[in-house]
Each structure stands twice: as structure tokens, then as C-alpha cells.
Structure 1
């Protein structure tokens, strides 16, 4: 049987990198894309096939898909839209352009990738689209409004796409990780610094007591129930390889707990619990 092919975005570290290595280890031909060409060179040196893809640049998406399909003879069995970044801060302190910027990467770029991929999958008669959502795609906590908004949007997008593409034999799957060991906190700092004027905020004392410590303290202990990226890769393997994949895959205990809270508790009671997070 021909080797199956998979394109993954956001592979420079964390979930994307582990997914690329893990799925390649399972026999898939993996195209591990990154925004920065220097990261692509590093992945190539690590034995992966890699080339640039930036969610905010449709031309790089087009070029990456062309490169992948040229190497496979015109097919692409699956994609994992993983590229995203965090932008912590209180919603009242976020300029509208800050939300536009995070949606450009975390949501609009995913849509562009999906739209450009679907014609390939339609032509070959099958495909699998896996979207990396989050526990923050169906519940939220303070300071995470921008990121949660993009993931809530991705959840609705994925659910709709699953319905619309069923008649084309193209499956859509949502992955919903909770706390996973990664560089997302460190990589969110430049975005926070670019957009959030916390010193002028009426919440300045709260920033100093809470968010700043978490954001900049490199000695902070891992989150409770935090798992390594391999926990996501294990769920991805099922999502890609099962004849009948689930609509969504929850990863980590906090994600399961949040799903139960969302289902069983009145909103105000759930709010009181989440406010302690």
C-alpha cells in the first residue's frame, strides 16, 4: 500500500514537532512546515521533510501545498492545522488590531489552508482534516480571551466543515488539548509586549500579582496535570488512522473535567470554579 502523506503546520517545537516525528515514526510521509525558514533547516537536519508555511501568507500556503503534492505525485492524505500563538491579557486592554492579528494566524490562516487543500482531496476522493483546537475552544479562563476566541471560532468552523464535507469523503476532526508542555508561553511574550499596555491598565495590580509572574517566571512549575506533546500525538494517530475517527479528541485531565463542568453545571456555578483558575 502506498505511503500516506501528511502536512503539519507549526512544527518548530511543541505539539507540531512531536506530531511530525511521531507520525513519521508510524510510517507516514510527513511534511513538517514552519513559518521561519531557519526552523525548516533545523528540521531537515533532524531527518524531516520541511519547508516554509506561514498561516498569515496565502502565497506560502499555496507554495507549500504545491511542494508537498509535487513530491507525492499530486496527492495529500491529511493535514494537521496546528500553527497558532497566544496573546494573554484582559480583553479590555486588547486593541481591536490585536484581535485581528491573532485571528489572522489562529483562524483565518487555518481557513486558507483548508480551502487550498480541499481541491486536492476532492480530486483523489478522500482526505482527513485535523484542526488543533483547545480546552479553551469550549470553556475559558481569565486573561485568555483572545486565544479562546480564536479557538471557539475554530470549534464552530470544524463542526460545520465536518457536516459539509461528509459527502466528499473528507473527515474533519478537532483535537482539544489542555495543558501541554510547549513554548507557547515564551512565544506569547512578544505579542503581549506589542499589544498590552498593562502599566496603564486599571488591572495593573492584577497583572503584577498574577499574569506577569506566570508569563515571565521561567522557574514556574508545570501546570497541574500537564502532559508532554506525545499525549496529543497519540490521539492524532487515532484521528488519522481510524476508519471512523471521532469528531473530537480530548487530551489531558483538565479538558475532560472542563467538558463535564460545561455539560452538568449551571453557567454561574461553573464561572465561580473557573474564576479560581
Structure 2
């Protein structure tokens, strides 16, 4: 049987790192990409094929895809768009340029990479495009407006693409994790410092709790938090099952939010939503 191939973004740590190694161990040819070349070097040292790819840099995406296709003879079975980051802060404190910046990575980059690979999948007659969304792609939480808006946009775009691809042998799939052990808080710190002028915010006193969580290095887990392998388990089903689901929930928090969205009114849901 021909070895299947997949491009995964955001593989320097967390979900992407776990997925890349797990799928390689299952026999997939994995192209594990990272924003930084030093992270790619580490992955190559661990036996993976790794290339630099930055969702905010179209040239890097174009170059990575061209190199991958040159190695595979012009084919690729699957794409797992995973790389993303957060900018914690109240919506009224988010500069519009901050939103423009995060959308480049979390949304426009996903779209560009998808468009690069759809013609390849059309030509070969099959393919799976999987996006790592979030419970925050359908259920908002305070202080996460930048990240939430990118994930809501991603879900809307991919729901539309899924409908447009009906009748074609290309599956469009969303994975929606809740709390998973990753470096998202650590990676969010420089973005928070860059964009959020919290000391001059009318919510200055409320930022104490947010900053405490953001800079917490105790290692304590969030409620319902699972390891990255929980996402990889759903990814494997999405890749290898003959009839994959259009959506995969991960963690109890996502299932609870999904049920609440369907049965509760907006006002009741708002009252039950945590403040932080």
C-alpha cells in the first residue's frame, strides 16, 4: 500500500508536535512545519521531515508546498492546519491592528494554504483538509475576543467550503478542542505585552486575574484539560476512517458547550458563561 502523506503546521510543540510524531509512527509520511528554522532543525534531528512555514508569510507557505510536492511527485493526501496563537485582553482594549495581525496567522494563512493544496487534491482525486479550530470557534468566552473571532471566522469559512465540496472526494473537517495542555499561554505573553495597554484600561483592576493566569507557571491543569494526544486521537479518525465526521469535539468542555449552545437561550447561556 502506498504510504500516505500529510502536511502539519505548528509542530514546534503541543498538538502539532504530538500529531507529527504519532502519525509518523503509524506509517504516515509527515511534513512537520514550524515558524522558526531552529524548531525545524530539532524535528529533523528527531527523524521527521521538517520545513519552515509561517501562516503569516505567504512566500514561506508557497515555498514549503512547492518543496513538499517536489519530494512526493506532486501529491499530498492531507493537510492539518494547526498553528495559531492568542492575544488575551478585553475587546475594547484590542487595537484593530492587533486583530489584523492575528487574522493573518489564524485565518488568512489557513485559507491560503488550503487554496494551495485543493488543486493538488482535485487532480489526484482525493484528499482531506483538516483544521484545528476550538470550542471557542462556536462558544465565546470573555478576554479571548481576538482568538474567538479568528476561530468563528474559520468555522464559517470551512462550513461554506464543505458545502461547496459536496460530491467531490475531498473532505473538509474541523477539530474543536477545549482545554488542552499546550504552550498557548506562554506563547501569548509577548502578544499581550505588545498590544494590550492594560495599565491604562478602564478594566485595569480586572486584569490582575487575567495576568495571574497568563503568567502562571505552576503547571496546574485547567478543568477538563487533556494532553495533546487527545486531539491526535480524533485526528487519526479524521484521517483514516472511510467516512470521517465533519466535526470532532475534544474534551468534556467542548461537549458541554455544544449541548448548551443547542438548548439554552442566549441570555441564559450568557449568565452561565464564566467571567474569565
Q: Could you tell me the TM-score, scaled by structure 1's length?
A: 0.98
In structure 1, the partner of 2:236 is 237
In structure 2, the partner of 1:271 is 270
Does the residue aligned with 1:206 lie in a helix, a strand or coil? helix
CA distance in 1, matches of 2:219, 2:213: 7
Aligned 1:44-193 pairs, distance under 5 A: 44-193=44-193
Q: What are structure 2's unaligned runs of at least 5 residues?
A: none
CA distance in 2, matches of 1:37, 1:117: 23
How far off its partner does 1:94 sit?
Answer: 0.4
How far off its partner does 1:168 sit?
Answer: 2.9
How far off its partner does 1:73 sit?
Answer: 1.1
CA distance in 2, matches of 1:93, 1:220: 28
Segment of structure 1 superposing worse, 41-50 or 64-73: 64-73
How far off its partner does 1:140 sit?
Answer: 1.2
Q: What are structure 1's unaligned runs of at least 5 residues?
A: none
Question: Given that residues 214 and 220 in structure 1 are in contact (C-alpha distance below 8 angstroms), is that contact kept between their aligned partners in structure 2?
Answer: no
Q: Could you tell me the TM-score, scaled by structure 2's length?
A: 0.98
CA distance in 2, matches of 1:37, 1:136: 30
CA distance in 2, matches of 1:57, 1:103: 12
In structure 1, the partner of 2:205 is 205
CA distance in 2, matches of 1:217, 1:127: 41
Question: Given that residues 106 and 150 in structure 1 are in contact (C-alpha distance below 8 angstroms), is that contact kept between their aligned partners in structure 2?
Answer: yes
Per-residue Cα deviation, 1:107-162 (whole angstroms, up to 9, x for no partner):
00000000111111111111100001000000011101110000000111111111
Question: Given that residues 162 and 171 in structure 2 are in contact (C-alpha distance below 8 angstroms), is that contact kept between their aligned partners in structure 1?
Answer: yes
Does the residue aligned with 2:51 lie in a helix, a strand or coil? coil
Question: Given that residues 175 and 249 in structure 2 are in contact (C-alpha distance below 8 angstroms), is that contact kept between their aligned partners in structure 1?
Answer: yes
